[in-house]
Amino acid sequence: MNNNKTFQDALVRLEDVLQHIRLVDDVRERLSHPKLSLTASIPVRMDDGSLRVFTGYRVQYDDTRGPTKGGIRYHPHVDLDEVTSLSFWMTIKCAVVGLPYGGAKGGVEVNAKELSRMELERLSRGYVRAVADILGPERDIPAPDMYTNATVMGWMCDEYAQIVRRQEPAVITGKPVHLCGSLGREAATGRGAVYALEEWARRRGLVPSETTVAVQGFGNAGYHFARLADRAGFRIVAIGDSQGAIHAAQGLNPDSVMEHKRNRSELRAFYCDASVCEEIPYDRLTHAELLELDVDVLVPAALENQIDAGNAARVRARQILEVANGPVTSEADRILRERGIPVLPDVLCNAGGVIVSYFEWVQNRNGYYWEEEEVNARLKTIMDREAAACFDLAEARSVSPRTAAYLRAMERISGAITARGTREYFNHGPQA
């Protein structure tokens, strides 16, 4: 535990927004506390016969606008503070893009890389048994997050079905396609971020082929963002993962880099033409050096709190696009704002994943499934609309894109809370 540092920093963003909007006390009070927090011990029989007990969490932050929605991550540093922060951001994110959801998040404190596949399955099923009482298609719908994937979601959905003794595919999203998952879900987070970047570039007069991009984090979201941004014409000049980073001024091919990472477990720079690949000159960088590269767009796509008060003054990117959740602290936000570096916020830019998770939930409940082209088109419609609205609001109110996104979310959340009655209504309002 880290004394709620991340969660308290997340609430600073809420206080910043309240300077630009008047909310009734009920809304402020409701959004300052999670609705439900669950900590569970998960016993797992390991392959060698020993028993290990892992700690798991599930936080449902707010369900005013609908059932709660949020991923499950496996990471050694997962704790209740982190999960609470992520559930708060999910509440804001779902409201920013207009989904009929509240926010939730889950996690297990574990290094998933150290587990065998059978141990991972036992852990995943054990997690569902621990939290099943608070899950449901109309209550709380998990999805994949860091170091979980479609296979893990398939195990979890199957375990839930065994517990309730019926098939409930809508209880979890991000499942394998053959287990009622949605086409387009795997790349959705990265794809949505590219749509947001394209809208921003159009407004700023950025020419994609002349716009350099550095991506910190090369997991699912970071890889698909880099791949799709490259296809959209942007020049990906740096890529980093947990082992380090590479930089090539002439540009990198994200697909070739990922292929080498999968085969050799390291990042290398290749240019591929048809079936012929050759290594190109590149520099090796540290994580700190990647974050401080002189590029047009810096894309933190790994963990939270990567840009803080200690390194924000050394950031040289002209703009930052958050694909990770909470990669820029509130203090770093202030420093970057003073330096004139706009930050395109996570609660807008990485919403593609939850949008397509919503599509999957809708398809599961209807029993009717869409082609991938329809999924991507619907995703683009929502991202284009909400990104344009946030950027328009930022310009009209002379506030940062993050503040504009929060203002848009607050309008929707506040409307839902006040519609149920507030102190002002009950003490002074007219009769219904």
Active-site residue numbers? 105
Residue 150 has a CB neighbour count (10 Å cut-off) of 18
Report the relative pairing of strands 102-109 and 212-216 from DSSP bridges: unpaired
What are the distances in angstroms from CA 230 to CA 275, 291, 306?
19, 19, 24
Q: Please tell me what DSSP assigns to residue 286.
A: -
The residue type of 346 is D
Helix extents (H) in 339-371: 346-349, 352-366
Neighbours of 274 (CB within 10 A): 5
Beta strands in 47-172 (DSSP E): 51-62, 68-75, 102-109, 140-144
- Measured CA to CA, the distance from residue 122 to residue 42 in angstroms comes to 10
Contact 336, 320 (CB under 8 A): yes
CA distance 337 to 322: 15
At what angle are helices 150-164 and 117-131 packed, to 10 degrees?
A: 50
